[in-house]
Amino acid sequence: MTSVPTPSRDTGLLLFAHGSRDAHWAEPFARLRDVVASRGVPAVLGYLERMSPDLAGAAAMLVAQGCRRIIVVPVFLGEGGHVRGDLPKLVAAAADAHPDIDFSLASAIGEHAAVIDAIADVCVAAARR
């Protein structure tokens, strides 16, 4: 039996989403954050626009929790202009504000085969009802 490594408490995930005027829109993202946190990884949400905290504020929250490494995970289905253009600039600004913290940027979640497979499963299940 293979053991699963315990996540380091000094690494936090900044789950980065677009934002919306509708507060209900953020509910699935809050559930995602809570599931990640329940698995022992510090996690916060940050938004590009219309919601708070923004990326800088979310990064500061993880730093305040003692995280020395922050991985920004774009909770976007694809890597469009925001992920390829805006997000790297925001991450660079956060890294400049916290020079002693190691920042990295993951690929958008929709770029991962496991996510595509999970979405496909839901779509096929809907077609079979």
Q: Given 18, 24, 82, 112, which residue is catalytic?
A: 18
Give, for 90, the enclosing helix (H) or strand (E): helix 87-97
From residue 99, alpha-carbon distances to 17, 94, 102, 107 in Å are 24, 8, 8, 22
18 catalytic? Reply is yes
Confirm if 87 and 16 have CB atoms less than 8 A apart.
Answer: yes
Using N-to-C axis directions, what is the helix angle for 87-97 and 55-64, rounded to 10°?
40
Nearest-angstrom CA–CA distance, 3 and 54 = 36
From residue 124, alpha-carbon distances to 76, 77, 110 in Å are 21, 18, 18
Catalytic sites, residue numbers: 18
